[in-house]
Structure 1
Amino acid sequence: MQPNYFQQLTQDLKQQGTGTPQLVLDVKTYQDNLDFVRSKLPTQLKPRLVVKSLASMQLLKLASQKLNTQHFMVFHLPHIAEMMQTFEQADILLGKPMPIRAVELFYQSPVQHDMHIQWLIDDVERLKQYLQLAQSLNICLNVNIEIDVGLHRGGVQSTQQFLAVLKLIQPHAAHLKLTGLMGYDAHVAKLPRILKSAKKSYQQSQQSYQQYIDIIRQQFPNLWHENLCFNGGGSPTFMQHCQQSVCNDLAFGSLLVKPSDFDLDHLLELKCALWIATPVLKVLPYSQLPGLEVLNHLPHHYQALFVYDGYWRADYIYPEKSQPHILYGRSSNQEMLQVPKQCNIAVDDYVFLRPTQSEAIIPQFANLYAYEQGEFKVWNSFRE
């Protein structure tokens, strides 16, 4: 974003803002990102929105409408109830295995349980727990098997483990239904190139995924059906899957608001749509360090700002070249920044930060302020 964008945003916040730190969504940029994603998605890949990365119902509604999907990946059980209230046709895939106690309490809650939920199973022992619960409640649980395609974060890691899971599902059709596989491949974009190229890493992860698909099709024809969900991807490998994928279900979320952790070569056309705006509380002519007052007499090239709160998982981006003082330290109460001396900034102006992750930042704010054509609309965030 250009400096005049933040200058205008500062003026609008002074007139319409809360005078406290605010999480601002640039709606036009968000819509542009959605349009780009929609243009890249092939017809055989069903988009699945990651709720933790877009933890605001209005964010999810807009993405759901633009991308024509009600498929969601959920990582926190309380979010399921919120999704059920808004999306009648929601297909929920759990993004991580849930402890059996959490699942028990979910089925004891008063929420409706007839929506399509795929519980993630990472090994045969967890599946035995889920089977016992299903038998005690006399229900049939949809189970999706987590497979390790190279990330090495758990899940089924061998043919032997995979066969054990399928053999337990097969005779218990009244209580367990196989709905597909989930193979997360974030390592593809994260591995240093000196170890393995992204192209080769992606190819290997896809080959591994295909092997598991083939086992179901060839050895367990009674479990095979055309509606099996083969979920993969994530924001880091979105473009690779759009070009070629053995999957039919693609999860992503963060790339739609583009926090800095997703500054990847193949996502360059996407722009950051999410900012933290925090007011300036104090402006000092230079940084004054406790116990080092002797330094006050030296030439100073930076002035010091104290801002409202601080220490977020985010980087200061405006004013330019602003940064926390390395000796003064970080603060989540009143963080001190060094700002170039020639920068024209005053008390009640705003400084802006770019989040590194949307999932780490959105839940810290009760509201998301949707900014469009100089106006702000309040969108609620998921806090729990």
Structure 2
Amino acid sequence: MSRLNTIFFEQLNGDLKRREYALPHLIVDAQALEQNLQYVTTQLRDAKQLQPRIVVKSLACLELLKIISQKLSTQRFMVFHLPQLLPILESFSGADILFGKPMPVSLVKYFYNENHHWQSSNIQWLVDSHERLLEYLDIAKLFALRLKINIEIDVGLHRGGVNTKSSLKQMLGVIQEHTEYLEFTGLMGYDAHVTKLPSIIKKSEDAYQESQQIYQAYISIIQNDFSKLWRDDLCLNGGGSPSFSFHVKHSVCNDLSFGSMLLKPSDFDGDTLSVLQPALWIATPVLKVLPHTQLPGLPFLNKLPHAYKALFVYGGYWMADYIYPKGIRPHVLYGRSTNQEMVNVPKNTEIEVDDFVFLRPTQSEAIIPQFSKLYCYQNRHFEAWESFRE
């Protein structure tokens, strides 16, 4: 985490104050992002069978997605939120879309009702059950479409999806019987549990190998029992940022999804992603500086020695951790606030009203939609990018 240093934040504070636009900012550090992209490009170069797929929800800003798409030479995207689908289709002429979760059938119907000119677009709809597949079949018949169907499989996360061989065979049978309306395009197996399980339960390496064995078993069913549906270019999607480093070493998949790790919010700290740099920050101005915390109803505490100043900042209570100045933290008794959050800093901290304090988001997908703009910080300057607010 070489960018987490006093010089960087002091410089950023000074540059923000010169902008004279003292609102909370969501900042993308262009240098750290570039370093992360270089690392990913190098890793993918050695894993030639894997095609990268960019997760839109984690990088929900069109300009950011364009930069990443160009750097990684891909227009494969994973979409989780229907309103984010059209901006991708409209901005990338070769967009290859895979949904990362099943969409309610009413939303699929709504999409095709409202967007007739996108009926032939390259969209793989994710289906997790026989019942949902039949609903999608009805949609295909209603609009006289041939829907691309990718089947969600459970490779150990246990968040739904096909979890028995018989279930997969039943769904593949439906597709094979209705090829005029349904096109089988592949499988999706998300394996975020691989690095999240405590090692006392199962080591990450063992959990990954187990998930790969499950995935391969489902691939074998297609090859052996539904050979007419098998193609070498099926989308066999897996991964996610937590398991990226495992897949680039060896994977039965040919399509690898990731997103958050390129900005590296703190939920993605860990050994497997340790080489990546944090690239996303919240900066918010200080509104008030008090010599110490004063708790309502407890005036006698004011007479005690105080080791911390009290700051009130613009906004607060984001899914983020206060990171600078050193030692900054919310007060455990005063309570959190989304309007004027009170935080403490060590008494000797040099900080004034209108200075900025900095937070590191725990997630990118939760934070980006809360800000209308991302500010790309590069060479001491800021470029404003519109985010996806919906």
Q: Structure 1 length normalisation: TM-score?
A: 0.99
Secondary structure at the counterpart of residue 52 of structure 1: helix
Amino acid at match of 1:84: L
For residue 73 of structure 1, report the CA deviation from its aligned partner.
Answer: 0.1
Q: 1:66 aligns with which of 58, 61, 71?
A: 71
Amino acid at match of 1:259: P
For 2:336 and 2:83, locate their aligned partners in 1 and report how far apart those are by CA, in whole Å: 33
The aligned residue for residue 42 of structure 2 is 39
Is 1:356 aligned to 2:382, yes or no? no
Return structure 1 stretches of 4+ with deviation > 4 angstroms: none
For residue 113 of structure 1, report the CA deviation from its aligned partner.
Answer: 2.5
Cα displacement string for residues 174-231 of structure 1 (whole angstroms, at most 9, x for unaligned residues): 0000000000000001001111110110000000000000100111011011110000
The aligned residue for residue 274 of structure 1 is 280
Secondary structure at the counterpart of residue 118 of structure 2: coil
Secondary structure at the counterpart of residue 31 of structure 2: helix
Q: 1:90 aligns with which of 89, 92, 95?
A: 95
The aligned residue for residue 203 of structure 1 is 209
The aligned residue for residue 330 of structure 2 is 324
Is 1:100 aligned to 2:105, yes or no? yes
Cα displacement string for residues 36-65 of structure 1 (whole angstroms, at most 9, x for unaligned residues): 000001111000000000000111111101
Deviates more, 1:17-26 or 1:373-382: 17-26
The aligned residue for residue 244 of structure 2 is 238
For residue 115 of structure 1, report the CA deviation from its aligned partner.
Answer: 1.5
The aligned residue for residue 10 of structure 2 is 7
For residue 17 of structure 1, report the CA deviation from its aligned partner.
Answer: 5.0
Cα displacement string for residues 354-381 of structure 1 (whole angstroms, at most 9, x for unaligned residues): 0000000000000000000000000110
The aligned residue for residue 151 of structure 1 is 157
Cα displacement string for residues 252-283 of structure 1 (whole angstroms, at most 9, x for unaligned residues): 00000000000010111100000000000000
RMSD between aligned residues? 0.7
Amino acid at match of 1:311: Y
Amino acid at match of 1:35: Q
For 1:17 and 1:104, locate their aligned partners in 2 and report how far apart those are by CA, in whole Å: 47
Aligned-pair identity in percent equals: 57
For 2:347 and 2:370, locate their aligned partners in 1 and report how far apart those are by CA, in whole Å: 32
The aligned residue for residue 349 of structure 2 is 343
Q: Is this contact kept in 2: 1:16–1:376, CA < 8 A?
A: no
The aligned residue for residue 171 of structure 2 is 165
Amino acid at match of 1:18: Y
Amino acid at match of 1:20: L
Which structure 2 residue ranges, 5 or more long, are not aligned? Answer: none
Which structure 1 residue ranges, 5 or more long, are not aligned? Answer: none
For 1:156 and 1:16, locate their aligned partners in 2 and report how far apart those are by CA, in whole Å: 52
Amino acid at match of 2:5: Q
Cα displacement string for residues 285-322 of structure 1 (whole angstroms, at most 9, x for unaligned residues): 00000011110000000000000000000000000111
Secondary structure at the counterpart of residue 200 of structure 2: coil
Amino acid at match of 2:242: P
For 2:119 and 2:347, locate their aligned partners in 1 and report how far apart those are by CA, in whole Å: 60
Q: Structure 2 length normalisation: TM-score?
A: 0.98
- What is the number of residues matched between the two proteins? 384
